[in-house]
Chains A and B, each alone.
Chain A
Amino acid sequence: MPTLAYRLLQYYQDDPERLAIRLLYNRQPEQTLTYRQLVLGAAGYTRTLAEAGIRPGEVVILILQHGDALAYSFFGSILHGAIPSIMPFLTEKLSPDQYRRSLAALFEITAPAAVVTYPEFLAEVQQAIQPGGSVRAVIQTSQVVNETELDADLLANGLSRTENDIVLLQHSSGTTGLQKGVALAHQAVFNQLESYTEALALKADDVIVSWLPLYHDMGLIAGFILPILSKVPLVLISPFDWVRAPYKLFHAITQYKGTIAWLPNFAYNFCAQKIRERDLEGVDLSSWRAVINCSEPMYLHSHQLFLERFQPYGFHPEALATCYAMAENVFAVTQGGVDSPVVIDRVSQRSFLTERIARPIQGDEPAINMVSAGPPIKNVRVKVLDEHHHDLPDRHIGELALQSNCMLTGYYERPDLTAKAFHNGWYLTGDLGYIADGQVYVSGRKKDLIIVGGKNIYPQDLEGLAGEVPGVHPGRVVAFGVPNDDLGTEDVVIVAEIDVSKDELQRAERESLPLEEIHPSIADEIRQRVTRGSDIALRYVKLVDRGWLLKTSSGKTARSANRDKYLAEQ
């Protein structure tokens, strides 16, 4: 079994002039990288890492934006036998202090030996490095020179790695997410690629187009490693550009005859609603054979919006596809809609909510349209468990559990968390759903994770930020998500208990004013801290009197019960 380094070098030798990546930029011309250029650029980083004394098996954190340096440093680390992990770049809305704290936390947990960043960002990174910590080298992109030919000695380290060695780490964001670096072995990545390539019927004449960030599994695996290691050309757009100009995805599909792209559900609504007609002039989507909805709850309505808007531009309805994926399985668990249309299961709302069974509707009773994520891909098994971890029959809603030949090696340096994630050899996903006729349906989450625009957000991180605001009772804050149909994703709500005087309470009642209007500065401060300290923009803050929040018998905040209470009061 080869390793990623071995495979990449094989392409370099056999097919050096083949196009690997086309990088699109905003104000500069595009840049194409052949396998030769990619490997020589990567080898420049391999040399720099070697000269800095970084050893195989050590972690290298990459703090870079869209561009060739990110691709080079990622594969350069792998060619050195080191373990790359991509960290999101500081954005203008994030508080630099909070970002620095995240970096410091990441450094503490993964004990990286090196960090790669831009010269302009050096000072920021250095502030997060503790004296006496693990980081021995901060490599600036300006120090690195592309190799002109391959030096066998330089690659000896990378080629000595074996298939069970860890090849990369993936993190989700926030204080909690950073604790769980998903460590993946070469073998797991190859097994995933083999099964997923088959599920997609991926061919050499496909063209994958992606704007997804590479610090996220969907971007890193589907929109980066899969095409590059499958010799399928990749057109890469910056996520920063896409969010300001979503039409760029459609121009790229048109210009390069793109065939496959992955989008989180909110992007269907966003693209359908936010692109001006003039920006779609000349767009031709007839080459697109799969647009794959993945990484957050999927809505039939979002597919309909997308289809209505883009069918006039040649978009084929049968190109709508779905996928259920997670970093712990490298990426895909299921894939739907590629060789047959996505299955929509119309189930009885009453049975769904009261019996927790997805029964097909009878007559004209109220229905829920469940969008199938498709059947499991090859060598992945999915089952549904009740709360005592007993198997449930078809159509019964429970926790999805999986087994595969591409599972994570473990959460990096956290055997405790790894052990907790499995039960009798099955990985407990924390997602709720059911299976019917071999199709997997995801209906919600057991864990209190909030997914916003495809990003996993841990409520405890947001609660911690809000709890620091003066006037808020520490520990008396709850964060949860509520679906927003218009946006096709969740909105985050924070409910916080504050001290209110009798007078204020009476005034609130008399004038039917919410407390957040009596104490706007507290509400604003919560919004500001959460927005600047996390990956989301917080919109809804509700301030309540002491005693409003429901607690479990063990004294923990019951997020779902408080969410129900909040929704009932709206």
Chain B
Amino acid sequence: MDIIPTLANQIATTILKQPKRIIRPDDKLLSSGLIDSFSLVDLSIFVEDTFGVRLEDTELNAETFDTLNELANLIQQRQA
């Protein structure tokens, strides 16, 4: 499964409720406010259920990941 398109689709559909929205791999997600803090828990649940990778709640911030690229890298590292 391609990580980036899967994440992009999930974020556009469930979190942003704008299914047609295109999210580029280097768009800022957290620091831009695109994903608000209340949706971070949703994102971490999705990542765990879909990719089997656990994100700790202490990691849900822009320092750990702020873009699809960074999140996908984090997922790949943990899957390896």
A residues apposed to B, CB below 8 Å = 26-27, 91-94, 240-241, 243-246, 270, 274, 276, 453, 517, 527-528, 531-532, 536-537, 539-540
Contact = CB atoms under 8 A, between A and B. Distances in A.
A244 B60 contact: yes
A531 B40 contact: no
A93 to B, nearest CB: 4
A93 B45 contact: no
Contact of B57 (A94, A241, A536): A241
A497 B34 CA distance: 23
Majority secondary structure, B binding face? loop
B30 A243 contact: no
A532 B32 contact: yes
A202 B46 CA distance: 41
B32 A244 contact: no
15 contacts: A92-B30, A93-B30, A243-B38, A244-B40, A244-B60, A245-B41, A270-B38, A276-B45, A517-B20, A528-B32, A528-B33, A531-B33, A532-B32, A537-B36, A540-B17
A93 B40 contact: no
Interface string B27-55: 00011111111111110010000000000
Given A241-B57, A531-B33, A532-B33, 11 more contacts: A26-B58, A27-B58, A93-B31, A243-B40, A244-B57, A245-B41, A274-B45, A528-B32, A531-B36, A539-B16, A539-B17
Contacts of B34: 527, 531, 537
B61 interface: yes
A250 B29 CA distance: 29
A528 B29 CA distance: 11
Contacts of A536: 36
Given A27-B58, A92-B62, A244 B37 contact: yes
Nearest to B62: A92
Greatest chain A CB density within 10 A among B39, B57, B62 is at B57
A27 B32 CA distance: 26
Nearest to A274: B41
Contacts of B17: 539-540
A94 B62 CA distance: 13
Contacts of B45: 274, 276
A245 B38 contact: no
Given A27-B58, A92-B61, A539-B16, A244 B41 contact: yes
B8 to A, nearest CB: 15
B37 A243 contact: yes
A453 B32 contact: no
A11 B60 CA distance: 40
Nearest to A524: B21
Contacts, number: 56
B50 to A, nearest CB: 14
A244 B55 CA distance: 11
A274 B42 contact: yes
A91 B35 CA distance: 13
Nearest to A487: B38
Nearest to B39: A537
Contacts of B37: 91, 93, 240, 243-244
B52 to A, nearest CB: 14
A274 B46 CA distance: 11
A92 to B, nearest CB: 5
A271 to B, nearest CB: 10
Contact of B32 (A245, A270, A531): A531
A532 B33 CA distance: 6
B33 A93 contact: yes
Leading 5 A-B pairs by shortest Cβ distance: A537-B36, A531-B33, A93-B33, A245-B57, A244-B57
A540 B21 CA distance: 13
A364 to B, nearest CB: 34
B66 to A, nearest CB: 9
A93 B32 contact: yes
Nearest to A270: B38
A270 B37 CA distance: 12
Contacts of A241: 57
Greatest chain B CB density within 10 A among A26, A92, A539 is at A92
B43 to A, nearest CB: 11
Contacts of A26: 58
Contacts of A540: 17
Contacts of A91: 37
A434 to B, nearest CB: 32
Greatest chain A CB density within 10 A among B16, B31, B38, B60 is at B38
Contacts of B61: 92
B1 to A, nearest CB: 22
A531 B16 CA distance: 13
A420 to B, nearest CB: 34
Contacts of B58: 26-27, 244
Contacts of A531: 32-34, 36
Greatest chain B CB density within 10 A among A240, A243, A528 is at A243
Given A244-B60, A539-B17, A453 B30 contact: no
B35 to A, nearest CB: 8
B33 A537 contact: yes
A93 B36 contact: yes
A244 B39 CA distance: 9
A540 B16 CA distance: 9
A241 B57 CA distance: 8
A453 to B, nearest CB: 7
Nearest to B58: A26
Given A276-B45, A517-B20, A539-B17, A92 B38 contact: no
Contact of A246 (B20, B35, B41): B41
